[in-house]
A and B are shown apart, each in its own frame.
Chain A
Amino acid sequence: MAIKPTPTVAVATIVLAGFALLPVYAVLAGDSFVLSLGTRILVMALAAASLNLILGYGGMVSFGHAAYLGVGGYVVGIMAYHGVTSAWVQWPVAILLSAAVALFIGALSLRTRGLYFIMITLAFAQMIYYVGVGLYDYGGDDGLTLNARSDFGGFPSLDDRPQFYYLCFILLVAALYLMKRLVGSRFGQVIRGAKSNDPRMHAIGFPTMRYRLTAFVIAGAVCGLAGVLLANQADFVSPATMHWTRSGDLIVMVVLGGMGSLMGPVYGALTVLALEESLSSLTHYWKIIFGPFLVLVVLFGKGGIAGLIARWERRK
């Protein structure tokens, strides 16, 4: 199928091209701060995209998604603490452990619906948060500073800002492509159907639980990878990474960007982090400005930013 140059495609292309060119600007302008902000946006977009799979497409309102950011980050931090810095070891362990945690949480929580599901995922995430607080050998409440970034044995080097940035960019684009294939596949149809009308899915012959759980595990694994990147970017991981307010931030990014739209999480992460950056330098009380803005978008911009773009498309 040929891709039509609709506003949805145009905006996505412009935003992704902007991300691709940001290091060029950073080098020319000698602005290295913008590159570390850009890296953080890419990483949070990756985490939000993973949440979008279950929240946006699957209707599973997980209020504990930041837990996987912490799991991924702590694997990197703890292994580095013990002298294991090879990314080839750290990253698979981080992704697999995040998947295992998601399997555990999902298996116990996906039988519930609505508010119960929100509360149970939140409760599990808080449990993991307190596990982090209790890791006294690894800094406890204060967190753990990475004594070295993950090492690929030369290239790419995470100590090189543009290389690290482009690694995050490539991983995000790859994850978005993965999501695109996933939601369009037979598997994706089951996830969408279970969100839309789960009893009917059972009546036509789908045991939906196993598919929803699989989506939950994939989302956890991808978010674990985001946690790996985030820890490397900050050279630091702490329980605060998985505080429930961080899970709330991820939900805000998905809802603001547009639930169930491929690029929504990217727009959401970009908007939240850019606003946070610009408003917090203006005033300490930036959340007082950001809160109402968010309410307006949710009330009037059904489908978030991606929804606004799609509506503009239909009007033309």
Chain B
Amino acid sequence: MTGTILSTNGLIKRFGGLLATDNVSLEIATGELHAIIGPNGAGKTTLIRQLSGEMRPTAGSVMLDGQDITAAPMHRRSHMGLARSYQITSIFPDMTARENVALAVQAHDGHSFRFWAPAADDARLAGPALAALDQVGLGARADIPASALSHGEHRQLEIAMALATRPRLLLLDEPMAGMGPDESARMVALLKTLKRSLTIVLIEHDMDAVFQLADRLTVLVYGRAIATGTPEAIRVNREVRQAYLGDGHGG
């Protein structure tokens, strides 16, 4: 069944005099991979923050499954099936990779007022955690402290934590930023697998990856969504070419 899983209506975010989100109305169709592109400072991360609940919009609304979630806190949205990864790695550095992901599993396995049984020996946590680590290619690094992982591995860990919450909608903020070509290729392959079972909103600067993966794209410039369409339509859109694609890829 198709339909709209997530939409925004007249979303506005002001930082003082700056309009970081300028009247954005988006519809993310269930099952699609929807890329959001735009130059640095266009307001892509700010948009993700409002979708995930980290930041409240100045005006406008966010709907998930037709329900208004504009005021819903992050943890509630997580339980509604929304997960995100961060542009700037946000993990638990003093825990191992496995513990990082196990926490995400635990968040979705009932309440945590369990004071006695050791979490470390809990197969209900370790099983899904290792599965998620395997899925992103970090299975062999499960017992390494997260702080000791490489930059590329941090990006993978971010995805594993998001996947471990078993989301229906994944918001990815530049998951390939700073990755080498091999790591990027692996991430593209992973996203190809994931898009079969998940709706994904992907912010990415790597245009080859974006045009390979996306079903639809939205172009954001100065906070405004200037175009939405299939990769073919966006490629030939005059306004987009002038505003963005023409002068190379953003940083």
- On whether A192 and B95 interact (CB within 8 A), knowing A186-B106, A203-B74, A205-B108, the answer reads yes
Query: Whole-angstrom distance between the alpha carbons of A205 and B83 in the complex?
Result: 9
Stretch at the interface among B20-28, B118-126, B187-195: B118-126
Contact between A202 and B73 (Cβ–Cβ < 8 Å)?
A: yes
Chain B residues with CB under 8 Å of A202's CB are 73-75, 78
Contacts known (A186-B114, A204-B78); A196 close to B93, Cβ less than 8 A: yes
Most buried by B among A184, A186, A196: A186
Q: Which of B108, B116, B120 has the most CB of A within 10 A?
A: B116
Q: B200 to chain A: closest CB distance in Å? A: 16
**Residue B15 is within 8 A (CB to CB) of chain A in the complex:** no
The reply to whether A205 and B115 contact each other, CB–CB distance below 8 Å, is no
Contact for B115 among A182, A197, A204, CB less than 8 A = A182
B165:A204 contact, CB within 8 angstroms: yes
Q: Is A207 an interface residue when CB atoms closer than 8 A count as contact?
A: yes
Which of B31-39, B60-68, B84-92, B178-186 forms part of the interface with chain A? B84-92
Cβ contacts under 8 Å, A6 to chain B: none
With a cutoff of 8 Å between Cβ atoms, the chain B residues found around residue A184 in the complex are 118-120
Query: A196 contacts B84, CB within 8 Å?
Result: no
Q: A193-B92, A203-B84, A205-B165 are in contact. Are A186 and B73 (CB under 8 A)?
A: no
Q: How far is the CA of A214 from the CA of B111 in the complex (A)?
A: 13
CB distance from A151 to the nearest CB of B (A): 31
Residues on A with beta carbons closer than 8 Å to the beta carbon of B74: 199, 202-203
Residues in A with CB closer than 8 Å to B99 are: 189
Q: In the complex, what distance in Å separates the CA atom of A306 from the CA atom of B103?
A: 26
- The answer, among B93, B102, B115, B161, for a CB contact under 8 Å with A187, is B115
Given the contacts A200-B90, A200-B91, A193 and B103 also touching, CB distance less than 8 Å: yes
Chain A positions 283 through 304: 1 when the CB is less than 8 Å from some CB of chain B, otherwise 0: 0000000000000000000000
B52 within 8 A of A: yes
Within 8 A of B (CB), among A150-209: 181-182, 184-190, 192-193, 196-197, 199-207
A205 touches B75 (CB 8 A): yes
Does A138 touch B at the CB level, under 8 Å? no
Question: How many Å from the CB of B5 to the closest CB on chain A?
Answer: 18
What's the minimum C-beta distance from B172 to chain A, rounded to whole angstroms? 13
Q: Which residues on B sit within 8 Å (CB–CB) of A190?
A: 103, 106, 112
In contact, A204 and B91 (Cβ under 8 angstroms)? no
Q: How far is the CA of A214 from the CA of B162 in the complex (A)?
A: 27
CA A184 – CA B113 in complex, angstroms?
Answer: 12
Say yes or no: B92 contacts A206, CB within 8 Å.
Answer: no
A81 at the interface (CB under 8 A from B): no
The answer, yes or no, to whether A211 is at the interface (CB within 8 Å) is yes
Contact B118 A187 (CB under 8 A): no
Chain B hits for A181, CB < 8 A: 115-116, 118
Asked, given contacts A202-B74, A203-B78, A205-B107, whether A186 binds B120 with beta carbons under 8 Å apart, the answer is no
Contact B78 A205 (CB under 8 A): yes
Inter-subunit contact A207/B75 (CB<8 Å): yes
Q: Assuming A192-B95, A203-B84, is B112 touching A186 (CB within 8 A)?
A: yes
A189 touching B103, Cβ below 8 Å: yes
Interface: B138 (CB within 8 A): no
- Asked whether B94 is an interface residue with its Cβ less than 8 Å from the other chain, the reply is yes
Report which residue of A193, A199, A205 has the largest number of chain B beta carbons within 10 angstroms of its beta carbon: A205
Most chain B beta-carbon neighbours within 10 Å: one of A184, A187, A189, A214: A189
Asked if B119 and A186 sit within 8 Å, CB to CB, the answer is yes
Distance, CA A206 to CA B74, complexed state (A):
9
Distance to closest chain B CB from A278 (angstroms): 36
CB distance B119 to A188 under 8 Å?
yes
Q: Which residues of A contact B115 (CB under 8 A)?
A: 181-182, 185, 187
B196 within 8 A of A: no
CA of A185 to CA of B122, assembled, Å:
9
Does the CB pair B75–A206 fall under 8 Å? yes
A199 to B83, CA, bound (A): 13
Q: Contact between A196 and B116 (Cβ–Cβ < 8 Å)?
A: no
B214 to chain A, nearest CB (A): 24
Question: Which residues in B have some Cβ–Cβ distance to A below 8 Å?
Answer: 52, 54, 73-75, 78-79, 83-84, 86, 90-95, 99, 102-104, 106-108, 112-120, 122, 125, 161-162, 164-165
Known: A186-B125, A193-B92. 16 other contacts (CB 8 A): A181-B116, A182-B115, A184-B120, A185-B118, A189-B106, A190-B106, A190-B112, A192-B95, A193-B95, A193-B103, A196-B93, A197-B91, A199-B54, A200-B86, A206-B103, A207-B73
- Between A and B, 14 residue pairs with Cβ closer than 8 Å are A181-B115, A184-B120, A187-B112, A189-B106, A192-B92, A197-B92, A200-B91, A203-B78, A203-B83, A204-B107, A205-B78, A205-B107, A205-B165, A211-B113
Enumerate the 7 nearest inter-chain pairs by beta-carbon distance, A residue then B residue, closest first.
A205-B78, A205-B107, A202-B74, A186-B114, A204-B104, A196-B92, A184-B118
